[in-house]
């Protein structure tokens, strides 16, 4: 899931995700939010 997010979907959120990488859930949710913001 995390790699899916990093794989060009959210380049802007990449650094932020790295910093927030506390748990898989937090990172996944953060990635999910950014994904929708970018594509919605």
pLDDT of res. 4: 47
**What is the per-residue pLDDT across 2-24, written as a single tens digit (0 to 9) for each?**
444 544 444 455 556 566 555 55
User: How many residues does this entry show for the chain?
Assistant: 40
Q: Parse the chain into domains and list their residue ranges.
A: 2-39
Q: Tell me the C-alpha distance between 37 and 23, whole Å.
A: 21
Q: Supply the pLDDT for residue 27.
A: 58
Output the DSSP codes for 3-40. HHHHTTT-STTHHHHHHHTTSHHHHHHHHHHHHHHHH-
Which pLDDT score, from 0 to 100, does residue 35 have?
61
Spatial distance between the Cα atoms of 20 and 25, rounded to a whole number of angstroms: 11
Res. 25 pLDDT band, cuts 50 70 90: low
pLDDT of residue 23: 53
């Amino acid at each position: 899931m995390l790699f899916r997010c990093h794989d060009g979907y959210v380049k802007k959120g990449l650094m932020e995700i790295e910093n927030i990488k506390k748990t898989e859930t937090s990172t996944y949710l953060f990635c999910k939010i950014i994904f929708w913001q970018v594509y919605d």
